[in-house]
Structure 1
Amino acid sequence: MTRTAGAPPLTLLYVPADRPDRVAKALASAADAVLVDLEDAVAPSRKGEARENAGRILARPAGPGADVGRPAGAIQVRINHRSTPWHADDVALLGSLPAGIGVRVPKVESAGEVRELAEALPGRALHLLVESALGVERAFELAAASPQVASIGLGEADLRSDLRVSDDAGLTWARSRVVVAARAAGLAPPVMSAYTNVRDLDGLAASCLVGRRLGFSGRTAIHPGQLGTIRAAFLPSAAEVAAAREVLDRVRGAAAEGVGAVALEDGTFLDVAMVERARWVVGLGEG
């Protein structure tokens, strides 16, 4: 079951564009968004074939009853980096696709390249991936580089290599940096990078909970079998939604009675930040 229109995506499924059979399955899957990959998942010798597949499949009209099976806004195409020989053709392909299809931009390090891509693809949503130490240092600058930037996140495999770290502890600061940059730029919370061991669902769940505590909201997946675990980890529990509704009910009741200070049953006094958080939790739970 996918999220309702306008709700933040919790599950985003990568699929290699050189496998049209898998693309079709991904588009019909329960993922909130499908990430059609022209980059890391595709061998250099198959880049042209992958691009042709993506163009043929995604050029179909998107909407109720269409062959694509989902709205264009729930589809992104990850292109190759500007330093590669495939980048220009990838950008040309995006320019020919329905306007709602977003572009996932790897290895971003400068605001200039973001603005350049925005000019080449006017009006198209840009989803930035930070995959180096320099990109992390410039996270807010990147997030705020263009009104077309719709999200910013980490590409953790390349970032681990660049930082020379061997486990998640070495990524904690970079993860928090991107969460703060997204919020400061007025963007939605970032989604986590993919968990590469597709059989380790317990490890995936534990990792998702760590990310959720840091401020992430959702995660990319590389296998459909990961979607349910990701969704369960990032959706608020029934108890959390009930507690959030209590906060909102108490605030509404106090406003109606002309009372300024409001306290919950456990003695916790409410402030504006808690109310905003409660609205977010309820919205997430109902989406």
Structure 2
Amino acid sequence: MTAEATGVPGATDAFALTWLYVPGDRPEVVAKALVAGANVVVVDLEDAVAPDRKEYARAATADLLSEPSPLPVPVHVRVNALDSPESVADLRTLAALPALSNLAGIRLPKVTAPTQVVRTADRAPHIPLYALLESALAIENAYAIATAHPALRGISLGEADLRADLGVRDDAGLDWPRSRVVLAARAADLAPPPQSVHPDVRDLAGLAASCAHGRALGFLGRAAIHPRQLPVIETAYLPTPEDIESAESVVKAAATRPGAQALPDGRFIDAAVVAAAHRTLALARRR
């Protein structure tokens, strides 16, 4: 189904709800993550890897991605900060992988300007890129970053660094940057961004509440740092039976009588409402 048919921009990525981060220097943990139920596994070469383990993590990740058989789920790699020597080595390694490798995308941390995306696309051609916005400057440049290069397939927030940069104490203080990223992604015709990680892996109730808030803001799905978070994120973002029933009634009404109209229950529907109903049903089909 195309993006046009579903009304979802960037439909290839639009139905990924869970993005599980795993340290690149722990091959045994990566192997478990690949079958943990996430839609995408993100092998991390940045924050989760100590400085003296960077080279090993890079080599282990290259070995994984060079496997001749397909991996169970798409694998992305988060490289080191783009202004660091480690990032140069990361990108050189990933760009040298075989054309049919298992690398599905590169996640770029701490992006602040569109030129960084363009340079990365030049260094690693033909590989989908995803920018992480983690500072005030990045938020100000969100749309410019989102439209920097055709290789860029998505943007999202890195909220830990953003909190530190802004000095935010209350979670509500991040709602404006969150909305800014959602708007920038939509304006650039990218998939809706996933939420940033919920750092307390034991706080599943807090995770569920935070996901509900993120869904209300326009996010779709969420990054995770532990497999136990995955079912909570899925439940929060997949349409409920009531959502599906409502969407089906809208689509049926639109098919039998095109144009703006009111349903028997008083709901008014037009083209925008119908498009939203199609998005709901398309998302429901990925159960």
Q: Secondary structure at the match of 1:86?
A: helix
Please state if 1:266 is matched with 2:258: no
Please state if 1:10 is matched with 2:17: yes
Amino acid at match of 1:89: A
Give the fraction of aligned pairs with identical amino acids, expressed as a percent.
Answer: 48
- CA distance in structure 1 between the partners assigned to 2:54 and 2:103 by the alignment: 23
Is the CA contact 2:134–2:158 (under 8 Å) kept in the aligned structure 1?
yes
Amino acid at match of 2:244: V
Amino acid at match of 1:9: A
Amino acid at match of 1:85: P
Is the CA contact 1:17–1:36 (under 8 Å) kept in the aligned structure 2?
yes
Deviates most, 52-61 or 241-250: 52-61
- Give the drift of 1:208: 0.3
Distance 1:140 1:17, change over 3 A: same
Per-residue CA deviation, residues 127-151 of structure 1 (Å, 9 max, x unaligned), is 1100000000000000000001110
Is the CA contact 2:260–2:271 (under 8 Å) kept in the aligned structure 1?
no
> For structure 2, which runs of at least 5 residues remain unmatched after alignment?
1-11
- Give the drift of 1:100: 4.7
Q: Tell me the equivalent position of 1:28.
A: 35
Q: Tell me the equivalent position of 2:224.
A: 221
User: Aligned Cα RMSD in Å?
Assistant: 1.5
Q: Tell me the equivalent position of 2:90.
A: 90
Distance 1:178 1:99, change over 3 A: same
Distance 1:182 1:261, change over 3 A: closer
- Candidates 56, 60, 68, aligned match of 1:53: 60
Is the CA contact 1:191–1:219 (under 8 Å) kept in the aligned structure 2?
yes
- CA distance in structure 2 between the partners assigned to 1:6 and 1:28 by the alignment: 19
Q: Secondary structure at the match of 2:252?
A: helix
Amino acid at match of 1:53: A
Per-residue CA deviation, residues 137-177 of structure 1 (Å, 9 max, x unaligned), is 00000000000111000000000000000121110000000
Is the CA contact 1:190–1:217 (under 8 Å) kept in the aligned structure 2?
yes
> For structure 1, which runs of at least 5 residues remain unmatched after alignment?
none
Q: Tell me the equivalent position of 2:244.
A: 241
- CA distance in structure 1 between the partners assigned to 2:36 and 2:69 by the alignment: 15
Is the CA contact 2:75–2:102 (under 8 Å) kept in the aligned structure 1?
no
Amino acid at match of 2:220: S
Q: TM-score, normalised by structure 2?
A: 0.92
Q: Secondary structure at the match of 2:93?
A: helix
- CA distance in structure 2 between the partners assigned to 1:233 and 1:82 by the alignment: 33
Say how many residue pairs are matched: 273
- CA distance in structure 2 between the partners assigned to 1:38 and 1:249 by the alignment: 48
- Give the drift of 1:122: 1.2
Q: Tell me the equivalent position of 1:161.
A: 164
Is the CA contact 1:62–1:69 (under 8 Å) kept in the aligned structure 2?
no
Per-residue CA deviation, residues 65-87 of structure 1 (Å, 9 max, x unaligned), is xxx333xxx21000001222211
Q: Tell me the equivalent position of 2:153.
A: 150
Q: TM-score, normalised by structure 1?
A: 0.92
Distance 1:269 1:113, change over 3 A: same
